[in-house]
Amino acid sequence: MVNFEWFRTFKAIYETGSLTGAAEALFISQPGVSLHLSSLESYVGYKLFDRTSRKMVSTERGKILYNYIQESISKLEDAERHFHKSTEKDIPTISIGMCFETFQFTLESYLPTLPFNVIIKFGEYPEMLADLDNGILDMIVTPHKGDYKGLEYKPFFKERIVVLAGAQTPTDEFNELLKTKDLNQIQTWLKAQTWYGSSGDMEHLRRFWHINFGKRPDFKPNFIVPNMGSIIRCLSNGKGIAVIPDFLSKKERDSGNIKLLWEGYNLIENTLYFGTRKKSIYAEQVAMIQEIFEREMV
């Protein structure tokens, strides 16, 4: 029977591009990595990598094998990390799923103060819902509810999708246009501005534009940055506009570095939920996390 570690070693070589990199990633010796690879190649009956002076280059058969096993190996590794007994006796570990910006805004600064271990996972909401139902996650923060019978949802906050502007953005003309409710002129002014967008999520802009103007935006942001936190930092005390959830900029708006430009004629609100399993051995720890969110997002 094939050894699972051979596949794990193969995956590490493929992703790092070298025997040395795989050995460092797996905390084993380089001769051990070479042995695993040669054993797997003997088992499957063909070469998986071409050796060069600088790196290991996957063969076509190697690429096929990697694509076939990658997801399964990753899931097993996730399960191993999740269920591995903590070296610190009696300290529970809970896993939480949410978007990156929500984590930064609410929970990140609290992690060193928590009396238990936490694993944070970022991902798409359908995937997080499935992981919660399967026991990989213990709680998620989500605007979407799934159909899983073993899960329950507690609403705790409404985020509003708005247009924000840097403090140095001239907005007097726009404020006058809003009084006229001339949608064509409002669109023209908005499209003439410097726009920021996120490489991870342009849905807010598309949804806001469609609900208020009845069509998709026919322009692209001038600057695409990694996430909404980057947008806020770029706008802060400068010029430019973006469509993002209002709560992410609360501190900057309170300090005057960012201003609320427009909520739209048709308000867009999303309810955020705590998603949990109906029966959990970590109810006490989950309740502590929920209390932090409720306090920070008021």
**Which residue carries 């050894």 as its tokens?**
3
Number of structural domains (the chain) is 3
Residue whose C-alpha is closest to residue 156's, from 2, 7, 287: 287
CB neighbours (10 Å) of residue 14? Answer: 20
Whether 125 has a pLDDT exceeding 80, the answer reads: yes
Whether 87 has a pLDDT exceeding 60, the answer reads: no
**Are residues 265 and 282 located together in one domain of the fold?**
no
Residue whose C-alpha is closest to residue 244's, from 234, 229, 225: 229
Q: What is the pLDDT of residues 223-268, one digit of tens each?
A: 999 888 899 999 998 999 999 999 889 889 999 999 999 999 999 9
Whether 88 has a pLDDT exceeding 70, the answer reads: no
**Are residues 23 and 66 located together in one domain of the fold?**
yes
**Are residues 230 and 168 located together in one domain of the fold?**
yes
Whether 185 has a pLDDT exceeding 90, the answer reads: yes
Q: What's the CATH number where 50 sits?
A: 1.10.10.10
**pTM assigned to the model:** 0.63
Q: How high does pLDDT run on average in the chain?
A: 89
**Are residues 265 and 277 located together in one domain of the fold?**
no
Domain that includes residue 102, residue range = 93-156+272-296
In this prediction, residue 235 carries a pLDDT of 95
Q: How far apart are CA 262 and CA 187, in angstroms?
A: 12
Residue 263 belongs to a domain: yes
CB neighbours (10 Å) of residue 258? Answer: 26
